[in-house]
Amino acid sequence: MSPQTRPDMVELTFEVPDRLLGQFYVAVGAVLKRHQDLSTTAQAEPELHDWGTQAFDDELAHRAWRKFSPRAQAVFSLLMENPGTAMQADEIAAKIGLANGRHALAGVVAWPSRQCAEMGLTAPFRFDSPDAPGETGSYWMDPETARLFIAAREASLATRADITPQN
């Protein structure tokens, strides 16, 4: 049985003094290991943490909330007020007033997902894929994440009330 050849590999044949053979293998092994480590690191995605697992997540929730668009805040407010309850994407879109339904909703939650990932955190919602083609997926927020973002929303509203001129 002949070994399989790989198109990305080159077979080398040359002579090495036997007194250097061990050092040669160590050097080649180090080069191959370094290349493997670099390619693995480049492909690895950063590890994201769930909300509520770090002591400073409340501050991060405040920072994230301020970055979210008003539509994203409306979506998350709906999910926060119903923690642990899965809601169909089309239902959420209708309640928020998104003209293009589930497709618009996916766009609305895309930026907050990226913003949270930049902070090393998962998106503040969970998504359950549809069971069958043509059905819509559902979104929900776990209770701990909801608690953090309710506090962030309340703090944001309080700050806005403090700087809004009273008539």
pLDDT in tens, 97-143: 998 888 899 999 999 999 999 999 999 999 998 888 878 889 999 99
CA-to-CA distance for 89 and 81, rounded, in angstroms? Answer: 16
CA-to-CA distance for 115 and 123, rounded, in angstroms? Answer: 8
Q: How far apart are the first and last CA of the chain?
A: 89
pLDDT confidence band for 1 (50 / 70 / 90): very low
Which two structure tokens, joined as six digits, stand for 64? Answer: 């994230």
CATH for 57-163?
A: 1.10.10.10
Q: Is the per-residue pLDDT at 37 higher than 60? A: yes
Domain boundaries, the chain: 57-163
Q: Do residues 137 and 89 touch, judged by C-beta distance below 8 A? A: yes
Would the pTM of this model clear 0.75, i.e. be above it?
no
Residue 84's alpha-carbon distances to 32, 108, 120, 145, 163, in angstroms, are: 48, 20, 23, 10, 34
105: number of CA atoms within 13 Å, CB side?
Answer: 24
Nearest-Å Rg of the Cα atoms of the chain is 26
pLDDT in tens, 60-92: 999 999 999 999 999 999 999 999 999 999 999
* Percentage of the residues of the chain whose pLDDT score is greater than 70: 76
CA-to-CA distance for 37 and 41, rounded, in angstroms? Answer: 6
Mean pLDDT of 144-166: 83
- Specify the pLDDT at position 136: 85
CA angle 124, 127, 60 (to 5 degrees): 10
